[in-house]
Amino acid sequence: MATLDVDAMLERFRERAAAVKRRPLPPVAGEERQQFLAQAQLDFQDFAIVGDAEATLEDGVLTLRVDLGGGR
C-alpha cells in the first residue's frame, strides 16, 4: 500500500481553492447565477479549510487540525 503524502494532499486542496476563485462564471442569470455563486463560495471555503489544516498521520489515522478562530 502506498503511503499518503499529507503535504502534497494539503497542497492539492490549496490549489483547488485557488481554482475555484479563478473559475469563470458561466452564462447564467437570475436564480441560477446566485446558485452558482453560492456553490462556488462553499467549494472555496471547504477546500481552503482543508488546505489550511495542520495534518498528522499516526498509526494509519489522518488527523486534520483546523484553527477556525482566525489564529487566536
* Inter-CA distances, 41 with 22, 34, 54, Å: 12, 11, 22
| Whether pLDDT at 35 is above 70 | yes
Average the pLDDT over 5-22 and give the result: 96
pLDDT band at 19 (very low <50, low <70, confident <90, very high): very high
- What is the spatial distance between Cα 56 and Cα 10, in angstroms, rounded to a whole number? 11
- Among the listed residues 56, 61, 70, the one whose alpha carbon sits nearest the alpha carbon of residue 7: 56
pLDDT digits (tens, 9 = 90+) for 1-11: 468 899 999 99
